[in-house]
Amino acid sequence: MSKKRLLLLSNSKNYGQGYLEHAAPVMKDFLGSANRVLFIPFAGVRVSLDDYTSLVRSRFEEMGYLLDSIHEIADRREAILRAEAIAVGGGNTFHLLRALYELDLIDAIRESALGGVPYTGWSAGSNVACPTIRTTNDMPIVEPPSLDAIGLVSFQINPHYTDFHPPDHQGETREDRILEFIEVNADVRVVGLREGSLLRIEGDGINLLGEKSARIFLKGEEPREYDPGESLQFLLNETEN
């Protein structure tokens, strides 16, 4: 039986709410009795690591958790292996993944998460939990050594998924881009995770949380909407770590 405990968020902030406010009740239930959370802030680009950490630390302290940022720690790999819980923040996914490679942290995060250490991430932090970051929305402002990511799930996530298409805009929709992805990655499912939505994985179980449906894509099948409460077990019943 899998020991994985993952909470993967589409976004960090809903309209009219504070930072992580929409996810705080679920996140607190998910983290449970953990005392300290280890934060990985490297997706931040136009914010300093200290300022990003301060923002996230304030929210976690309100939830009752102490938060340490990995950039403040000398032995980062050891900190991951000893962490009670891991939180990976959003920002630019390419920037985040390059840092994880440069600091040699990917294997340590995978080992901890597969061993049962709670892992939560939002936006870019959800992207890197996937096999690759190829379904991110971000511009490749830097070039990581590989697009391969941590691989805590076998499917891909597209955070901030939206059906909106501006009037008279002739560019691709989000669905168009995902359909291109599955055209050349025929055996990979993509979960379009709308803002305010979360995927919670506990061992061999998975639940879609929030008020919005998720749109799931696979080559050869029509994209399908799944509502919160509907079974997504097929996502975990396919090849998993």
Identified catalytic residue from 2, 154, 160, 165: 160
Beta strands in 174-221 (DSSP E): 190-194, 198-202, 205-209, 214-217
So what's the pLDDT on residue 133? Answer: 98
All domains of the chain, ordered by start, with CATH?
A: 5-237 (3.40.50.880)
- The closest of 53, 139, 149 to 99, measured between CA atoms, is 149
Question: Residue 120 forms beta bridges with which residues?
Answer: 7, 87
Identified catalytic residue from 123, 197, 204, 231: 123
Q: How far is it, in rounded angstroms, from Cα 154 to Cα 161? A: 19
So what's the pLDDT on residue 193? Answer: 98
Identified catalytic residue from 95, 126, 138, 197: 138
Identify the residue whose tokens are 């991951």. 80
Q: Encode the chain (241 residues) as per-residue pLDDT tens digits.
A: 789 999 999 999 998 899 999 999 999 999 999 999 999 999 999 999 999 999 999 999 999 999 999 999 999 999 999 999 999 999 999 999 999 999 999 999 999 999 999 999 999 999 999 999 999 999 999 999 999 999 999 999 999 999 877 787 777 899 999 999 999 999 999 999 999 999 999 999 999 999 999 999 999 999 999 999 999 999 998 655 4
12 in catalytic set: no
123 in catalytic set: yes
So what's the pLDDT on residue 134? Answer: 98
Beta strand 198-202 pairing with 5-9: antiparallel
> pTM for the complete prediction?
0.95
Q: How far is it, in rounded angstroms, from Cα 65 to Cα 35? A: 6
So what's the pLDDT on residue 241? Answer: 46
So what's the pLDDT on residue 239? Answer: 54
Do 177 and 184 contact (CB within 8 A), yes or no?
A: no
So what's the pLDDT on residue 172? Answer: 85
